[in-house]
Amino acid sequence: MRDFPALTTPRLHLREIVAADVPALFAIHSNTEAMRWFGADPLQTLQDAEKLVEMFASWRKLPNPGTRWGITDRANGQLLGTCGLFRWNRNWRSCAIGYELAPAAWGQGLMHEALNSMLDWGFEHMALNRVEAQVHPHNTPSIKRLEALGFVREGLSRQAGFWLGEYRDLLQYALLRNERPPLSGATTP
């Protein structure tokens, strides 16, 4: 996993998150509504967004690495959000999934398209058998998205998260390799 694994879908380009993305990341991650279910408090400064770019880049260097893609519109290159596979346990062939999208891009099926491509890549290139997701029980759009991708609800983790000043219960979902539909057809450029 030396070179960044850029991915292309019919409407999107998934690419490395870079310093030029700081303003767009800040716009998303400082928006209380966009961060309502993300699992972290909204960012307060552009410097916080710079640290986020650095953190995502560091994932590729950790003992249990991950990859976070910037989701961009192929037509205009605009950063719409991010998605990633992280907490990769190579021995167990498992990892976790995370994602967020700018409110202006909600409801267009863009995240489904991005996650399909990312999951295809993860199962193929990371030799994954299991991808886990945690989602707030009231985050209905994310629950529907995960279930449409084939994720299965496994249970409830009580007070597993803490953000916006409250402990949050989280639903546990997972997708196994043998439950994954055939590859979606996304390509690496």
Q: pLDDT tens digit string along 68-83?
A: 999 999 999 999 999 9
C-alpha 13/C-alpha 153 separation (Å) is 29
Specify which residues 79 forms β-bridges with: 72
Sheet strand arrangement including 79-89: 7-8, 12-16, 67-73, 79-89, 94-101, 130-135, 166-176, 152-163
Residue 176 clears pLDDT 50, i.e. is over it = yes
9-30 average pLDDT score = 95
SS3 label, residue 155: strand
The model's pLDDT over 104-143, given as tens digits with 9 standing for 90+, comes to 999 999 999 999 999 999 999 999 999 999 999 999 999 9
Structure tokens at 56: 């995502």
Structure tokens at 126: 């990371």
C-alpha 11/C-alpha 4 separation (Å) is 20
C-alpha 65/C-alpha 181 separation (Å) is 25
